[in-house]
């Protein structure tokens, strides 16, 4: 029963199977009839045709090689290695680079903190008397507000000690005594307009 | 003098120290083969010269990426074929704007070429070849002149062996007809 089914199937497939086999056979036979190999074109001319009909200028290949190497090998020495590879290719380069980096960082840290100190901080550390005695030109660095701020910070415990201020603040001294003092010291009355 | 093997070239190119020497070996081995394949396809010597240089620059740039999944020879030829096909397509696109077809330009180019020394029959063959589609011409050149096997050609072009055989036989028949007709 099963055999009968297969037999029927064979007769259905057979026409297609024969066709698919016959096609290349026909094709091969045609070449045999014509006494030609399928891979050979115009057999009489075959050898002659295979000769290269093109030529190149003298020393062309040598010049071309040079150009190729110039374009590839020269650029490779500049371009193909990354910066990281160049820097860290050998450990010998690592230590000087690390040292330089540390120095730069140290310099930045010191310079940065120095720069951050304000003029206010500077004047708070010394008295106004010291400023006037040592470097009075530093006062020009301050604007009006900063000057009063600095003055208030540095002069909180300052007490007038000069003879002139003693004289001015002492109310028991008469005007005549003051005038005498001024004549003696060769000073102008304007000095009292503090 | 024995020809240097591809394995030796690959070994040299895989190390940074010997990369330059390896690449020189590669150029020495393949330069002329690649030039002639390109020359037969693009006809003009100047175009072939430029393309060969572009091919080798591309090879050099991609050498570190070469994973040896295919043979070096196959890989180099694949790069070459891609360059040639894209060059021909570029030229065709350019010529679309003009009245003259690119095939006609090529015919004229090899007829006036000072570096073409072939006789009348060879001229006929070249003219017949120019009438083939680019890919069929490529298959014919690789099989007929370079004697590359269908299997290797299949790896290079990414086409089945059967399709390549058919393409070659179609090309042969067309050329035969064209040469005999003239």
| DSSP string of A81-147, one letter each residue | S-HHHHHTSSHHHHHHHHHHHHHHHHHHHHHHHHHH--HHHHHHTS-HHHHHHH-GGGGGGS-HHHH
Confidence of residue A45 (pLDDT cuts 50, 70, 90): very low
Task: Tell me which chain B residues have a C-beta less than 8 angstroms from the C-beta of A71.
Answer: 53, 57
Q: Evaluate if residue A186 carries a pLDDT over 50.
A: yes
- Return the closest-CA partner of residue A41 out of B39, B156, B121, B151: B121
Do B117 and A54 count as a contact with CB atoms less than 8 A apart? yes
Coil/strand/helix, residue A54? strand
Mean pLDDT computed over A71-77: 73
Confidence of residue B66 (pLDDT cuts 50, 70, 90): confident
Interface test with A, best of B15, B17, B21, B24 (most A CBs within 10 A): B24
DSSP state of A41: S
CA distance, residue B122 to nearest chain A CA (Å): 6
Q: Evaluate if residue A168 carries a pLDDT over 80.
A: no
Smallest CA–CA distance from B122 into chain A, residue: A49
Confidence of residue B13 (pLDDT cuts 50, 70, 90): confident
Do B168 and A39 count as a contact with CB atoms less than 8 A apart? yes
CA distance, residue A15 to nearest chain B CA (Å): 23
Q: Evaluate if residue A118 carries a pLDDT over 80.
A: no
Distance between CA atoms of residues A31 and A155, nearest Å: 120
Q: Evaluate if residue A2 carries a pLDDT over 60.
A: no
Give the torsion sign (CA, B44, B50, B56, B58).
Answer: negative
* Cβ density class B107-134: b for 16+ within 10 Å, e for less: bebbeebebbebeeebbbbbbbbbebeb
Average predicted confidence (pLDDT) for chain A? 65
Residues of A near B (Cβ–Cβ under 8 Å) read: 38-39, 41-42, 45, 48-57, 60-61, 64-65, 67-69, 71-73, 76
Q: Evaluate if residue B88 carries a pLDDT over 80.
A: yes
User: How many other C-beta atoms are found inside a 10 Å radius of the C-beta of residue B82?
Assistant: 14
pLDDT attached to residue A127: 67
Coil/strand/helix, residue B116? strand
Q: Evaluate if residue B106 carries a pLDDT over 90.
A: no
The pLDDT tens digits for A78-97 are 544 444 444 445 556 678 88
pLDDT attached to residue A169: 60
Of residues A136 and B167, more confidently modeled? B167
Which among A13-17, A36-40, A117-121, B8-12 has the top mean pLDDT?
Answer: B8-12
Task: Tell me which chain A residues have a C-beta less than 8 angstroms from the C-beta of B27.
Answer: 65, 68-69
Cα maximum dimension of chain A: 157
A51 dihedral zone (left: phi>0; alpha: psi -120 to 50; beta): beta
Question: What value of ipTM does the predicted structure carry?
Answer: 0.85
- Return the closest-CA partner of residue B77 out of B55, B44, B53: B55
Do A61 and B31 count as a contact with CB atoms less than 8 A apart? yes
Smallest CA–CA distance from A46 into chain B, residue: B144
pTM above 0.90, yes or no: no
Confidence of residue B136 (pLDDT cuts 50, 70, 90): very high
C-alpha separations of A64 from A45, A58, A87, B33, B81 in Å: 33, 11, 34, 14, 20
CA distance, residue B117 to nearest chain A CA (Å): 5
Confidence of residue A175 (pLDDT cuts 50, 70, 90): confident
Smallest CA–CA distance from B117 into chain A, residue: A53
Q: Evaluate if residue A165 carries a pLDDT over 70.
A: no
Task: Tell me which chain B residues have a C-beta less than 8 angstroms from the C-beta of A76.
Answer: 19-20, 60
Of residues A180 and A129, more confidently modeled? A180
CB-defined contacts A:B, below 8 A: 83
Do B19 and A76 count as a contact with CB atoms less than 8 A apart? yes
- Flag the least confident range among A44-48, A135-139, B46-50, B83-87: A44-48
Q: How far is CA A54 from the centre of its chain?
A: 53
């Amino acid at each position: 029963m099963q055999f009968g089914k297969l037999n029927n199937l064979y007769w259905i497939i057979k026409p297609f199977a024969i066709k698919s086999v016959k096609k290349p056979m026909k094709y091969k036979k045609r070449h045999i009839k014509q006494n030609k190999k399928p891979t050979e074109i115009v057999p009489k001319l075959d050898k002659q045709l295979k000769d290269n009909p093109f030529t190149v200028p003298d020393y062309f290949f040598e010049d071309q090689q040079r150009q190729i190497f110039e374009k590839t090998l020269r650029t490779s020495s500049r371009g193909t290695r990354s910066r990281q590879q160049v820097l860290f290719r050998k450990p010998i380069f690592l230590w000087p680079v690390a040292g330089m980096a540390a120095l730069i960082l140290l310099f930045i840290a010191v310079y940065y903190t120095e720069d951050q100190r304000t003029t206010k901080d500077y004047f708070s550390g010394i008295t106004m008397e010291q400023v006037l005695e040592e470097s009075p030109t530093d006062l020009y660095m301050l604007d009006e507000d900063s000057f009063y701020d600095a003055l208030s910070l540095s002069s909180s415990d300052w007490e007038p000690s000069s003879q002139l201020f003693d004289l001015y603040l002492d109310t028991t001294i008469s005007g005549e005594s003051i005038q005498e003092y001024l004549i003696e010291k060769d000073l102008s009355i304007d000095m009292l307009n503090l | 003098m024995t020809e240097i093997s591809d394995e030796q070239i690959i070994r040299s190119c895989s190390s940074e120290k010997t990369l330059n020497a390896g690449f020189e070996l590669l150029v020495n081995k393949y330069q002329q083969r690649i030039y002639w394949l390109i020359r037969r396809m693009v006809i003009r010597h100047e175009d072939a010269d430029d393309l060969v240089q572009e091919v080798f620059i591309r090879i050099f740039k991609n050498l570190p990426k070469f994973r040896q999944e295919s043979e070096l020879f196959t890989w180099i030829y694949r790069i070459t074929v891609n360059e040639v096909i894209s060059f021909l397509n570029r030229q065709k696109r350019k010529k679309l704007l003009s009245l003259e077809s690119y095939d006609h330009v090529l015919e004229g180019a090899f007829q006036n070429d000072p570096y073409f020394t072939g006789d009348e029959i060879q001229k006929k063959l070249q003219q017949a070849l120019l009438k083939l589609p680019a890919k069929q011409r490529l298959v014919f050149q690789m099989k007929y002149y370079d004697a590359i096997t269908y299997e290797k050609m299949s790896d290079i072009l990414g086409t089945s062996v059967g399709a390549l055989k058919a393409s070659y036989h179609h090309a042969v028949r067309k050329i035969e007809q064209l040469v005999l007709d003239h």
